[in-house]
Amino acid sequence: METKPSLGKKLRTLRQARNEPLRVIAAMIDIDASLLSKIEHSERLPTEQQLEKLAKYFNISLQELTVIAIAEKIITTYPADTITLQALKIAEAQINSYLGEKNG
Amino acid sequence: METKPSLGKKLRTLRQARNEPLRVIAAMIDIDASLLSKIEHSERLPTEQQLEKLAKYFNISLQELTVIAIAEKIITTYPADTITLQALKIAEAQINSYLGEKNG
DNA sequence: ATAATTTTGACAAATTTTGTCAAGACAATA
DNA sequence: TATTGTCTTGACAAAATTTGTCAAAATTAT
């Protein structure tokens, strides 16, 4: 079982806070309940469009959800080792440099 | 034209240092010369297996190539904004925590 | 026990990735 | 400048991955 905080956990918590079955929210975001179940278990990640609908439905920040989704995608895609760590630092540096130059 | 340092540039530099045509190295790593051309132009990224063969052929560190490849993949996949930046930091933190616990 | 909900695996459809080919651009050289 | 070899590019097919659904099993609640 997946134990650490995750997008799935967050979504499940939000849903349970409202006492709503998968069925209802799945319908709201136009997917099958089984897919939402998988999302809540971090077996699948929501698409951008699903994230948008979820953010709207739960009235929370899309950006916040997107951050977690990207982080999880990266974590599941690459091994948790120093190579990946170095790659992340480089990517970070490039974005920082890009954002820096964009302004002053 | 792509101007910043990149995996493609590095590979092209290595190849040119040997004065070898695409054809030769492409053959060594079992791909078409046109694909290697695209790789050198950062239009495509090498697969893991291609990276391995390239590292061997040029007698350089596979890890070093992999780091750059992953960084470039991330950069081309996600927008260069603060959301991605936050996501990268989270991914980094998770790997660090994983690597930390793994040892002492 | 029954009914509702949730989970899971198998699968089809859609999308993305990967590699090749062929034609054209470019460069070097006779 | 004609010829030959090299490099680049777009279009495309094949392969791989992702995405979503269905149906059946498992779990939970009534």
Separation between Cα atoms, residue B62 and residue A35, nearest integer Å? 38
Domain ranges across chain A: 7-77
Tens-place pLDDT, residues A24-80: 999 999 999 999 999 999 999 999 999 999 999 999 999 999 999 999 999 999 999
* Strand C contacted by A40 CB (< 7 A): yes
How many angstroms separate the CA atoms of B87 and B91, rounded? Answer: 6
Q: Do B91 and A74 touch (CB under 8 A)?
A: yes
Residues of chain B neighbouring A82 (CB-CB closer than 8 A): 99
Q: How far apart are CA A5 and CA A67, in angstroms?
A: 13
- Please report residues of A whose CB lies closer than 8 A to that of B89: 92
With cut-offs at 50, 70 and 90, classify the pLDDT of residue B3.
low
Taking alpha carbons only, the member of B54, B12, B15 closest to residue B31 is: B54
3-class DSSP assignment, residue B95 = helix
Of A70, A83, A84, the CB nearest to B84: A70
Could you give the percent of chain B with pLDDT greater than 70? 94
Record: contact A66-B85, CB cut-off 8 A? no
Q: Is the confidence metric ipTM above 0.90 for this complex?
A: yes
Distance in Å from D28's C1' to A25's CA comes to 19
Mean pLDDT of B17-32: 97
Class of domain B7-77 (CATH, top level): mainly alpha
- Which nucleotide does the CA of B12 lie closest to, via C1'? D7
